[in-house]
Amino acid sequence: MSHLAPHIGSPIGQDTSVRLADRARHLSLRSRVTLLFLMTGLIAALLLSGASYLTARTYLLQRREEIVERQAFNNAQLIRTQLRTRRSEAFELISGIRTESNGFAILHVSPEDLYFSQDILHTQILLPPELVASTLQGITSRQRFSIDGEPFIAVGVSINEINTQYFEAFPLTDEERTLTIIGSTLLLGIVVVGSLSSLVGLWVSRRLMRPLERVSEAASEIAEGGLDTRLEQENDPDLSRLVSSFNDMADAVQARIEREVRFASDVSHELRSPITALAAAVEVLDARRADLSDRTQQALDVVVSQIRRFDQMVLDLLELSRLDAGISEINQEEIDIVPFIRRIASRYGVDDIRVIVSQGSDSFIKIDKRRFERIMANLLENARLHGGGVSLVEIENQRDGSTRVSVEDSGPGVAQSERLRIFERFARGSAGRSRAGGTGLGLALVAEHARAHGGSAWVEDATSGGARFVIEFPGEQS
């Protein structure tokens, strides 16, 4: 019987191994835990199934070999007894031997070198040459082989007493069928074990990830302003240490932020009194500027502009402090935003502002009027100082129900590298650094007021080449 060694497969190249390792590293933790359980279950199932299959195969073939050897020796003994007195009737003797279904027997008589078979379909040509040669040399042998794909085992018995060799072939079809059933059952077991391992891995990964998900959710809430968010204590000692460390960290972060907010608020409040006094004194001097020399008037103008800028900065800091502390409430009402924008622009000295509503959009929006006026005032002032004035205000409804208010200017635009940092406090773009005026807090207030609405603010390129500041308000306001 022909045997093929198990095909292990060609080795994977180094580049392929690196790619597979990179893909494994990019998998999520849950996927990696599930994959680990799957691989562990499959490897264990493969090893156990392989060992079981080999044990069953060895046992079945050994039992079969013992049976066929016993039967072959019994038939050879019968041939030896009968052939002593009836040597000329060798063909009749071999024909009378009872063999298994699909099995056959062949008799070789020396020195005539004649072969006698039970039927013309099964001759010595079907036997393995190695078995025939070994038996003719006087060595009793056995060997597995196949005929037309069907497995057989042949036994060659050398009867030296009468110079004769007896060959008998036994089919292994039943054993092969049994091994096929065992292999199929074990393969099905591997699939079942793999599936169960995946389910167990998925369940375990979810159990493992649940505390981490709670940590992630708590961290997100803290990042969104919920500084009092804390994790509940866990019974597991390892998780308990994680919870305690996270809560201690959150306490420290909350204390530091609140301390900084209080400091900024206290400083702003303390600065209001001296600034008010300075402003009053400067107003007195400005009222009598005609009595001052030209150089003194120039110096007075610088002092007046800087005090006004300082006063505006303090007001902005106070407003940011209230927003950081969550003191300011949001009072929303539904209004027609187009005339409201025109009134705001007129109030801040922009009378010819162009406001359009995109096709299919609605100009009615639910917002906090005071906060929205602050947003528009800061964007108008930013466009005046750094963008050559406002060129267009556009209102556009989105598919998700949100509304975008875009303010375009005619300036040089904002560099891609500065588009996120420009909304930070006291941050200025390259265009703002080359011009006087402004406090560096206007766009930060725009972003904070948009966030208070549940929306967001960003800047992009305008179609005209300038900057396009976009404020998005969600459709559902609380």
pLDDT digits (tens, 9 = 90+) for 172-183: 999 999 999 999
Single-letter amino acid, residue 385: L
If one compares 269 and 14, the residue with the highest pLDDT of the two is 269
Looking at the structure of the chain, the number of domains it has is 3
pLDDT at 264: 66
If one compares 256 and 478, the residue with the highest pLDDT of the two is 256
Q: Is residue 355 part of a domain?
A: yes
Residues 265 and 378 in one domain: no
Residues 314 and 359 in one domain: no
Q: Is residue 15 part of a domain?
A: no
pLDDT digits (tens, 9 = 90+) for 119-155: 888 888 999 999 999 999 989 899 999 998 899 999 9
Reduced to 3 states (helix: H, G, I; strand: E, B; else coil), residue 224 is: coil
pLDDT at 156: 93
Residues 172 and 249 in one domain: no
Q: Which structure tokens are listed for 147? A: 């005929």
Residues 6+ apart with CB under 8 A from 470: 404, 405, 406, 457, 458, 459, 460
Give, for 126, the enclosing helix (H) or strand (E).
none
CATH number reported for the structural domain that contains residue 342 in this entry: 3.30.565.10
Phi-psi region of 208 (alpha: psi -120 to 50; beta: other; left: phi over 0): alpha
Residue 314 has pLDDT above 80, yes or no: no
Percent of the chain predicted with pLDDT > 90: 24
pLDDT digits (tens, 9 = 90+) for 412-434: 888 888 888 888 877 766 655 55
DSSP for residue 12: P
Question: Which residue in 129, 135, 155 sits closest to 66, CA to CA?
Answer: 155
Residues 6+ apart with CB under 8 A from 445: 316, 319, 320, 323, 374, 375, 378
Beta bridge partners of 459: 469
Residue 478 has pLDDT above 50, yes or no: no
pLDDT at 1: 40
Q: Is residue 207 part of a domain?
A: no
pLDDT digits (tens, 9 = 90+) for 389-416: 888 999 999 888 899 999 998 888 888 8
Measured distance CA(372)–CA(391) in Å, rounded: 19
If one compares 317 and 357, the residue with the highest pLDDT of the two is 357
**Which range among 80-84, 139-143, 274-278, 281-285 has the greatest average pLDDT?**
139-143
Residues 6+ apart with CB under 8 A from 394: 355, 356, 357, 358, 404, 405, 406, 408
Q: Which domain holds residue 52?
A: 26-178
In the structure, what pLDDT confidence band is assigned to residue 157 with cuts at 50, 70 and 90? very high
Average pLDDT, the chain: 82
Residues 113 and 250 in one domain: no
pLDDT at 239: 77
Q: In b/e form, how buried is each residue of 300-322, taking b as 16+ CB within 10 angstroms?
A: beeebeebeebbebbebbbbbbe
Last residue of a domain, one of 300, 325, 350: 325
pLDDT at 144: 92
If one compares 9 and 242, the residue with the highest pLDDT of the two is 242
Averaged pLDDT, 239-255 = 85
Last residue of a domain, one of 153, 178, 203: 178
pLDDT at 243: 85
pLDDT at 230: 87
Residues 249 and 349 in one domain: no
How many other C-beta atoms lie within 10 A of the C-beta of residue 444? 22
C-beta of residue 124 within 8 angstroms of C-beta of residue 117: yes
Averaged pLDDT, 213-240 = 80
Question: Which residue in 163, 248, 120, 179 sits closest to 1, CA to CA?
Answer: 179
Listed range (38-42, 84-88, 105-109) with the worst mean pLDDT:
84-88
Last residue of a domain, one of 273, 295, 325: 325
Residues 312 and 434 in one domain: no
DSSP string, 8-23: --PPPPHHHHHHHHHH
Q: Which structure tokens are listed for 442? A: 């206007």
Q: Is residue 260 part of a domain?
A: yes
Could you tell me how far CA 274 lies from the centroid of its own chain?
57
pLDDT at 268: 65
Residues 52 and 171 in one domain: yes
Residues 298 and 349 in one domain: no
Measured distance CA(111)–CA(214) in Å, rounded: 92
Residues 352 and 315 in one domain: no
Reduced to 3 states (helix: H, G, I; strand: E, B; else coil), residue 454 is: coil
Residues 355 and 281 in one domain: no
Residues 355 and 292 in one domain: no
Listed range (31-45, 192-206, 266-280, 399-413) with the worst mean pLDDT:
266-280
Residue 378 has pLDDT above 80, yes or no: yes
Q: Is residue 224 part of a domain?
A: no
Residue 246 has pLDDT above 60, yes or no: yes
Instruction: For the full predicted model, state whether its pTM sits above 0.75.
Output: no
C-beta of residue 387 within 8 angstroms of C-beta of residue 467: yes
In Å, the largest CA–CA distance within the chain is 160
Q: Is residue 311 part of a domain?
A: yes
CATH number reported for the structural domain that contains residue 87 in this entry: 3.30.450.20
CATH number reported for the structural domain that contains residue 307 in this entry: 1.10.287.130
Measured distance CA(198)–CA(8) in Å, rounded: 25
Q: Which structure tokens are listed for 97? A: 């031997």
Q: Is residue 241 part of a domain?
A: yes
C-beta of residue 370 within 8 angstroms of C-beta of residue 333: no
Q: Which structure tokens are listed for 143? A: 């060997």
Residues 297 and 350 in one domain: no
C-beta of residue 473 within 8 angstroms of C-beta of residue 405: yes
Averaged pLDDT, 105-127 = 87
Listed range (25-34, 338-347, 431-440) with the worst mean pLDDT:
431-440
